Amino acid sequence: MEKASLNLSSQLSFSRRTIIAPCLREYLSSRPQNFHVVVKDRFKLSINLIAKLYKEGLNKTMPTLQLRGITKRFGSLVANNNIDLDLKPGEVHGLIGENGAGKSTLMNIAYGLLEPDEGQILVDEEVVRFKSPIDALTSGIGMLHQHFKLAQSFTGLENIALYLQTNSNINFIQEAEKKAHEIKTNYGFDIDLNKKVSVMGAHEQQLVELIKLFCANYKVLILDEPTSVLVGEQIDRLLKQVIEWAKMGYAIVFISHKLDEIITVSDRITVLRKGSVVERMSKEEASKDRLIRAVVGGELPVVKKVESIGLFEKDSIMLRVNNLSAVNNVKTTVINDVSFQVSKGEIYGIAGIMGNGQDHLVDLITGTNIYNNRITGGKIYLKNYDVTYLSASDIVAKGQDMAYIPPKAIEMGLASGLSFAENALLRNMRSFGKYFINWHKVVKYSERMISEYSIAANSPKTRVGTLSGGNKIKTVIAREFERKTDLMVVFDPSAGLDIKSIKKLEQNLLEARKHAAIVYVGDDLDMLLSVSDRIGVMFKGTLIEAGKPFSKERIGQLMTGGA
Amino acid sequence: MKQETIINMISLFVVIVAVLLISAAIFAIANVNPIEAFGHMVRGALGRSEGLSETVARAIPLLFAALGILVAFKGGLWNVGAEGQFYMGAVGATYVALNMSLPQPLHIIAMMLFAFIFAAMWGGLAGFLKIKFGANEILTTLMLNYVAIWFTHYLCFGPWRDVSRVITATAWFPETARLSRLVTGYRVHTGIFWALGVTILIYLLFKYTRLGQTIKVMGCNQNAARYSGINIGKTIIITMLISGGIAGLAGAAEVSGIYYCLRNGSYPISPGYGFYAIGAALLANLSVIGTVFAAFLFGALLTGAAYLKTMTGLHAHSVNFMVGLLILAVLARNVFVKMITKAIYSKKAVTPDKKLSDNRIKDDNKG
């Protein structure tokens, strides 16, 4: 028995998939009485598993990658709560859920970027531990990231060669070329790999990434929102290809926010909400309505009716956006003919799945222009001032101030190396002195903010960088609400907030409405429905006004491109 | 807050001990007894009245230049052109000294003013190139150093040369254009009061003014600065103007306090104060008050090194490595801070606390 066990383990490590079952069959049939023996090797195969393997043989395909009871916490937030996921070769597994539902965390765990707090990862039925993506890659798990990881100054081919890192140091470009050519013909990719990545469009860059993955011979492909960078026809082509790849025997995870895409490509669908699996369905069971309900949560939306106090006279219009269009630095349209206006006394909610242009829209309205977009048409008016081409500093210089809670509130809205008081001062230095700062006043003001918004800062001198994420966000919220401007642009900051703080934010919004026009951008439908007087939905850069009465389902449909 | 200060102090201590140990090893390799060598350095810099005077005399230009650099660094701009700004300041001061005749205090004030303006233009030029063409200020300020140095060279050999003198230099400054010596026979001069005065001004700038606050925000997070309605381009220009101008005062103090003339490159007016000052500003961790001590330390190091050279026959350059080491160690200090912080916080295994410490580490790396 000693000998057989030794044999087994050496063969196991040698080649798992091809040898495991026949070998086990032989082993078990020769010694049926030893059923309680646990094979002592580094794979720790339990006897149950051996029995199962023996029973099923190799005829039935085994899951290539299994996640079992994965739990991951960040502080008090449970990002993944006891999640199971099986990936089988030849199958596309659709993964869908709201932002912050835990999709990325789960995939980062599968890809070795994060280690789970609890649970196991199994590759070909063996428990493995991914300490870094290298471990995942050697186990045959490749990932197409949402943000491409390519060297911009290299050609596509050079990027592939860089990734493959073959042993040969001289011919590695040629080797890569050979391999890439093979992949290109086999998979029908149409791309010129000798172009520099910096001049490639997003879909071409994606193809380079895909060729990289196929060259490396992975069994499991994780596609993280692959369609988000594509438009129209490109999407259809990709979806067809994904189905093809599955037929070739790859196990594919397909992540998307778009219901149609998920239903088209997936053989099985898993829906995540707030870190847990809420529903699993097969392709046949899936329907758009069912998916929406599962993703959004709750069968019947309870709309808390909040009547606006209404000050909609003509001169109370605080913000007017007329037919605004803009392109980003690679000339892709990010804002497409958007028009809306907001008056004092109302909250205009902008719904939409993140990444459909909301961040670009508020970036342009406030003149911050972090994304370096270029306006190609249309106008933006604050009251009656044309601020279309003005930067934030110009707008402030013109006295057209507004409160603004930016997307990525922590990174953009705070100088984390400075003190709380200095951050309280950040956007309203003028009100604390023209040339000299009245620190006495600032400290008083900060102390009031700290107590009123229950921010866990010891004193105004506390460095903001030392606060927790939630408290950092609260700092931004407190500062912007305390400025009491008559226009507020609020980009949903609730992702890192606890329920109590979210309620407080909601209350703040409704109170601020008394003196201000508010644009509220978010993707949490509950929040949007409860605070908004009107709602527009952004989808792929366009804004569609959602008529009254609002319903969660209607808006959910608009958010995913449904008519 | 208090813990942070302690960690900073510990890391500073670790850095200095590391520098001393490595230096000792190198002294030993060069066949000089390390203990003796350090003894010479300390005695040379602080132990004798000549040494002390020399240390302070060297600390004056270092302090000016370090303050200038500090202003830029606080704004997140890497001004490594203090050396060039030093020379332009010297040129500005020399122009006033030789071409205007004014009574004693006014003459000095005019010299300082011109030095400030000349050097501010030099720094501002780098700022302008940055916002206009996106030119990296590290490169432009560095390259402008050489332009300034060779421009000074040209002036000394050409239009401003006093042919009656043995060395190629300008004429002697009139009495009214000289900063008086504090003690007769020693080189330490009243420029020290100017330097301390500017220190106070810079301190007030960052403590109480909106401009200082704006510069700090820009240095901390440029996106946040843009978001808060700060005009980045304007602020960059202003920061570089102030930064260059103050560094230029170092040149003015040097020509009117030490040399009483502008000299050519063979008899340089600066042994590289503009570069040593970068180390001083970093050693002070960009604290205005700390810069005074850092400048004094660097002054002492330079003086001690010179004394060590005469006493042991070590080549001057073999002493410069200590300064290099110190700068290197100061830059590496954040690693120590990170290690110490981690060691402290890993003991408290509670999750939220750990997250807090992680954030702190991240922030320390940024800062």
Distance between CA atoms of residues A39 and A47, nearest Å: 8
Task: Strands of A358-432 (E only): list them.
Answer: 374-382, 385-386, 403-405
Mean pLDDT within A314-340? 87
* Residue pLDDT, tens place only, B299-319: 998 898 888 888 888 876 766
- Burial profile B59-72: b = 16 or more Cβ within 10 angstroms, e = fewer: bbbbbbbbbbbbbb
Distance between CA atoms of residues A231 and A204, nearest Å: 12
Q: What is Dmax (Cα atoms) for chain B?
A: 78
| A147 backbone dihedrals φ, ψ, rounded to 5° | -105, 120
CB A76 within 8 A of CB A233: no
- Interchain proximity B226–A393, CB inside 8 Å: yes
- Chain B residue with CA closest to A423: the answer is B217
**Per-residue pLDDT for A5 more than 50?**
no
Distance between CA atoms of residues A507 and A510, nearest Å: 5
pLDDT score at B20: 87
- Give the gap in angstroms from C-alpha B366 to the nearest C-alpha of chain A: 8
For residue B340, what are its two tokens? 């110490």
B361 in A contact zone (CB under 8 Å) = no
Residue with tokens 């994420």: A469
- Chain A residue with CA closest to B216: the answer is A418
Q: Residues 2..61 of B with a Cβ closer than 8 Å to A: which?
A: 4
- Interchain proximity A465–B223, CB inside 8 Å: no
- Interchain proximity A73–B363, CB inside 8 Å: no
* Range in A2-16, A110-124, A247-261, A405-419 the model is least confident about: A2-16
* Range in A348-362, B154-168, B190-204, B315-329 the model is least confident about: B315-329
Q: Are strands A251-255 and A91-97 parallel, antiparallel or unpaired?
A: parallel
* Residue pLDDT, tens place only, A484-520: 888 999 998 876 666 567 778 888 888 888 888 999 9
- Give the gap in angstroms from C-alpha B179 to the nearest C-alpha of chain A: 33
For residue B89, is it within any domain? yes
Supply the angle between the helices A156-164 and A202-215 in degrees, to the nearest 10.
Answer: 30
A518: left (phi over 0), alpha (psi -120 to 50) or beta: beta
Closest Cβ opposite residue B228 in set A427, A439, A463: A427
- Interchain proximity B227–A391, CB inside 8 Å: no
Give B356's contacts in chain A (Cβ within 8 Å).
466-468
- Interchain proximity A412–B227, CB inside 8 Å: yes
Classify B270 as helix, strand or coil. Answer: coil
- Give the gap in angstroms from C-alpha A212 to the nearest C-alpha of chain B: 32
* Average pLDDT in chain A: 79
Give A73-100 as a DSSP string: EETTEEEEEEEEEEE-TTEEEEEEE-TT
Q: What is Dmax (Cα atoms) for chain A?
A: 91
Model-wide pTM > 0.90:
no
Mean pLDDT within A218-228? 84
- Interchain proximity B359–A437, CB inside 8 Å: no
Partners of A144 in the β-ladder: A223
B220 in A contact zone (CB under 8 Å) = yes
pLDDT score at B294: 92
B229 in A contact zone (CB under 8 Å) = yes
Give B33-96 as a DSSP string: -HHHHHHHHHIIIIISHHHHHHHHHHHHHHHHHHHHHHHHHHTT-----HHHHHHHHHHHHHHH
pLDDT: which is higher, A484 or B215 = B215
- Interchain proximity A465–B208, CB inside 8 Å: no
pLDDT: which is higher, B290 or B358 = B290
pLDDT score at B83: 95
pLDDT score at A476: 93
* Residue pLDDT, tens place only, A124-163: 888 888 888 888 888 888 888 877 788 888 888 888 888 8
Mean pLDDT within A299-317? 53
* Average pLDDT in chain B: 87
Give B363's contacts in chain A (Cβ within 8 Å).
416-417, 463, 465-466
**Per-residue pLDDT for A59 more than 80?**
no
Closest CA to A230 of A337, A352, A146: A146
* Range in A10-19, A277-286, A351-360, B195-204 the model is least confident about: A10-19
CA angle centred on A169, ends A167 and A171, rounded to 5°: 100
Q: What share of chain B is helix, strand, coil (3-state, %, to 5)?
A: 75, 0, 20
Distance between CA atoms of residues A61 and A20, nearest Å: 13
Chains A–B, number of C-beta pairs less than 8 Å apart: 112
For residue B235, is it within any domain? yes
Closest Cβ opposite residue A437 in set B213, B223, B228: B213
- Interchain proximity A426–B226, CB inside 8 Å: no
- Chain B residue with CA closest to A406: the answer is B227
Mean pLDDT within B148-174? 91
* Residue pLDDT, tens place only, A63-119: 688 899 999 887 666 888 899 998 888 889 999 876 567 887 888 899 888 888 889
Closest Cβ opposite residue A427 in set B221, B229, B362: B229
pLDDT score at B360: 40
Distance between CA atoms of residues A326 and A357, nearest Å: 10
Mean pLDDT within B24-33? 86
For residue A492, what are its two tokens? 């949903």
B327 in A contact zone (CB under 8 Å) = no
Give B226's contacts in chain A (Cβ within 8 Å).
368-370, 391-393
**Per-residue pLDDT for A296 more than 60?**
yes
Give B228's contacts in chain A (Cβ within 8 Å).
392, 426-427, 429
pLDDT score at A408: 80
Question: What percent of chain A stands above pLDDT 70?
Answer: 81
Interacting residues of A298 by C-beta distance below 8 A, sequence separation 6+: A552
For residue B297, is it within any domain? no
pLDDT score at A260: 80
In which band, very low, low, confident or very high, does the pLDDT at A26 lie, cut at 50, 70 and 90? low
Evaluated on CA atoms A359, A364, A365, A366, the torsion sign reads positive
Q: How many helices (H) and strands (E) does chain A have?
A: 20, 20
| A83 backbone dihedrals φ, ψ, rounded to 5° | -100, 135
pLDDT: which is higher, A58 or A468 = A468
Distance between CA atoms of residues A476 and A489, nearest Å: 13
Give A427's contacts in chain B (Cβ within 8 Å).
227-229
Question: What percent of chain A stands above pLDDT 90?
Answer: 15
In which band, very low, low, confident or very high, does the pLDDT at A241 lie, cut at 50, 70 and 90? confident
Distance between CA atoms of residues A182 and A188, nearest Å: 10
C-alpha pair distances (Å), B352 with each of A470, B343, B356, B359: 11, 16, 6, 11
Interacting residues of B224 by C-beta distance below 8 A, sequence separation 6+: A412, A413, A414, A415, A426, B217
pLDDT score at B195: 96
Evaluated on CA atoms B5, B11, B12, B13, the torsion sign reads positive
**Per-residue pLDDT for A259 more than 60?**
yes
Interacting residues of A279 by C-beta distance below 8 A, sequence separation 6+: A270, A271, A290, A294
CB A320 within 8 A of CB A314: no
- Burial profile A357-390: b = 16 or more Cβ within 10 angstroms, e = fewer: bbbbbbbbbbbbbbeebebeebebbbeeeebbeb
Q: Prior bond to B352 cis, omega within 30?
A: no
- Total structural domains in chain B? 1
pLDDT: which is higher, B4 or B43 = B43
- Residue-number span of the structural domain to which B75 is assigned: 60-287
- Give the gap in angstroms from C-alpha B287 to the nearest C-alpha of chain A: 14
In which band, very low, low, confident or very high, does the pLDDT at A304 lie, cut at 50, 70 and 90? very low
pLDDT: which is higher, A75 or A293 = A293
- Interchain proximity B220–A415, CB inside 8 Å: yes
For residue B235, what are its two tokens? 């602020």
CB A362 within 8 A of CB A491: yes
ipTM: 0.80
Give A392's contacts in chain B (Cβ within 8 Å).
226-229
Mean pLDDT within B227-247? 94
For residue B322, is it within any domain? no
Task: Strands of A88-148 (E only): list them.
Answer: 91-97, 118-123, 126-128, 141-144
pLDDT score at B216: 94
CB A219 within 8 A of CB A64: yes
Structural domains of chain A in order of their starting residue, each with its CATH number:
2-56 (no CATH), 65-296 (3.40.50.300), 316-402+485-563 (3.40.50.300), 409-480 (no CATH)
Closest Cβ opposite residue A417 in set B225, B234, B367: B367
Distance between CA atoms of residues B8 and B4, nearest Å: 6
pLDDT score at A88: 86
Interacting residues of B288 by C-beta distance below 8 A, sequence separation 6+: B67, B70, B199, B202, B203, B206
CA angle centred on A353, ends A347 and A354, rounded to 5°: 90
- Interchain proximity B1–A462, CB inside 8 Å: yes
Give B230's contacts in chain A (Cβ within 8 Å).
393
Distance between CA atoms of residues B75 and A81, nearest Å: 44
Give B362's contacts in chain A (Cβ within 8 Å).
465
pLDDT score at A11: 40
Give A368's contacts in chain B (Cβ within 8 Å).
226-227
- Give residue B239's identity as a one-letter amino acid code: T
Give A114's contacts in chain B (Cβ within 8 Å).
none
pLDDT score at A249: 83
For residue B9, is it within any domain? no
Give B221's contacts in chain A (Cβ within 8 Å).
411-412, 414-417
- Interchain proximity A466–B221, CB inside 8 Å: no
pLDDT score at A25: 54
Mutation choice for A interface testing from B7, B227, B285, B365 by most A CBs within 10 A: B227
**Per-residue pLDDT for A56 more than 50?**
no
CA Rg, chain B, in Å? 22
Distance between CA atoms of residues A542 and B2, nearest Å: 52
Evaluated on CA atoms A309, A314, A316, A319, the torsion sign reads positive
Q: Are strands A534-539 and A347-351 parallel, antiparallel or unpaired?
A: parallel
- Chain A residue with CA closest to B365: the answer is A417
pLDDT score at A496: 60
Mutation choice for B interface testing from A436, A462, A473, A490 by most B CBs within 10 A: A436
CB B146 within 8 A of CB B84: yes
Mean pLDDT within A34-56? 47
Give the helix/strand (H/E) hosting B344. Answer: helix B333-346
Mutation choice for B interface testing from A369, A423, A437 by most B CBs within 10 A: A437
Distance between CA atoms of residues B73 and B305, nearest Å: 28
Classify A23 as helix, strand or coil. Answer: helix
**Per-residue pLDDT for B353 more than 50?**
no
Give the helix/strand (H/E) hosting B297. Answer: helix B288-312
Interacting residues of A345 by C-beta distance below 8 A, sequence separation 6+: A308, A309, A310, A311, A312, A316, A513, A514, A517
In which band, very low, low, confident or very high, does the pLDDT at A62 lie, cut at 50, 70 and 90? low
Distance between CA atoms of residues A296 and A298, nearest Å: 7
CB A553 within 8 A of CB A544: no
**Per-residue pLDDT for A6 more than 50?**
no
For residue A308, what are its two tokens? 């606006």
Closest CA to A436 of B212, B288, B225, B200: B212
Mutation choice for B interface testing from A359, A368, A485 by most B CBs within 10 A: A368
pLDDT: which is higher, A357 or B334 = A357
Supply the angle between the helices B232-254 and B273-283 in degrees, to the nearest 10.
Answer: 120
Closest CA to B14 of B329, B240, B257, B247: B329
- Interchain proximity B231–A391, CB inside 8 Å: yes
Task: Strands of A199-345 (E only): list them.
Answer: 220-224, 251-255, 268-273, 276-282, 317-327, 333-343
